[in-house]
Structure 1
C-alpha cells in the first residue's frame, strides 16, 4: 500500500470511529479504536519514511512480532493438546495392562509417546509388557504399523531393545510362521540384555531367509 491508500483507509477508520461514538451500544466495541490506532501507526511509518515508500507488512517489525506471538501461542496450545492426548492414551494402556488384555489391543499412532509417559510415571522403570506389546505389533505390522512410514518412524521413537526385539521377532516368525507368542518370549530377554547382538542375529536371519542374498 502506498501513502495515498493508507491515508484513505485512515480517514475511513476515523469516520467509522466518529459514527460509533454517537451510538451507546458501540461505545464498548474495541475493534474500531484498535483499527484506527493501527492505521495511524502505519500512516506515521510512511510519513517518517522516504517519499515514495510503500507499506509492506512483511518488513513491519510490529506485525511480524504479532505474527510470531500468535504462532508461539498456537504451538503452545498444540503441545498442550498433544500432552493431554498422550496422557489419556497412557491411562488407557494402563487399564488394559491391569485387565490383562493389552496384547489384544491394536497399537495406534503416538503409542511410542504413551509408552514414554508410562515410563516417566514409574521413575524410569522399563515397561517390559508395553515394550513387548509394541515389539510384537511392529514385527507383525499390526495397527498403525501397517504403514511403512510408521514403521520407519518407530526407529527414532522406540528404544534399541524394543527395536531389536521387533527385528528378531519378525525374522523368527518368517522362519516359523505358526510360532506362538509364548514360544518366542526368549527374544525379549535377549533384546533387553544384548540389543546389538540381537540386531546382528536378526540381520543374519534376514540374509538366510532371503533367496539370493548370499550370492
Structure 2
C-alpha cells in the first residue's frame, strides 16, 4: 500500500464515520470506527515519513500487537496445562483414596493442597482419607 492509497482509505473511513453519525444503529460501532480511523491516520503518517510502501512485517506497532497476542496465547496455554496437571493430581489422590492406598507412603507434592481443594469443590474430598 502506498501513501496515496492509505490517504484515500483514510478519507473513505472518515466519510463512512461521518455518514454513520446519522444512523442511530451505528452508535454501537463508534468505538470500533474511532479505532479504525486512528489506525488509518497512523499508517498515513508512517508512510509519509518513510516514503515507501506499507508492510505490516516492518510495522513496529503491528509486530508488538502480534507479540502481545502470542504472549497471551502462551499464557493461556500455560494456565490450561497447570489446570490439567492439577486435575490429574486430584484424580490420582481421589483414586488412591478410594482404593485405600492413600497413606504416608504417598509423597506430598507441591500443589497437593490445591488438588485437595479441587476434590472438595467436586464433593470428592474425604478429609480423613486424603489428609491421612
Please give the TM-score of this superposition, normalised by the length of structure 1: 0.45
Mapping for residues 18-97 of structure 1, pairs under 5 Å: 18-29=18-29, 30-50=31-51, 53-97=52-96
Q: CA deviation at 1:122?
A: 5.8
Q: Secondary structure at the match of 2:53?
A: coil
Tell me, in whole angstroms, the C-alpha distance in 1 between the residues paired with 2:111 and 2:48.
Answer: 59
Question: 1:37/1:22 Cα in 2 relative to 1: closer, same or farther (>3 Å)?
Answer: same
Q: CA deviation at 1:15?
A: 1.4
Please give the TM-score of this superposition, normalised by the length of structure 2: 0.72
Asked if structure 1 preserves the Cα contact closer than 8 Å seen for 2:57 and 2:63, the reply is: yes
For structure 2, the 5+ residue unaligned runs are 102-107, 114-132
Asked if structure 1 preserves the Cα contact closer than 8 Å seen for 2:86 and 2:111, the reply is: no
Q: CA deviation at 1:121?
A: 3.6
Q: CA deviation at 1:79?
A: 1.0
Q: Which has the higher contact order (CA 8 A, sep 6+)?
A: 2
Q: Please give the root-mean-square deviation of Cα atoms over the aligned residues, in Å.
A: 2.1
Tell me, in whole angstroms, the C-alpha distance in 2 between the residues paired with 1:45 and 1:27.
Answer: 29
Q: CA deviation at 1:4?
A: 2.4
Question: 1:42/1:71 Cα in 2 relative to 1: closer, same or farther (>3 Å)?
Answer: same
Larger radius of gyration: 1
Off by >3 Å, runs of 4+ in structure 1 = none
| Partner in structure 2 of residue 100 of structure 1 | 99
Q: How many residues align?
A: 106
| Partner in structure 2 of residue 209 of structure 1 | none
Q: CA deviation at 1:16?
A: 1.2
Question: 1:37/1:121 Cα in 2 relative to 1: closer, same or farther (>3 Å)?
Answer: closer
Mapping for residues 158-173 of structure 1, pairs under 5 Å: none
Tell me, in whole angstroms, the C-alpha distance in 1 between the residues paired with 2:5 and 2:80.
Answer: 42
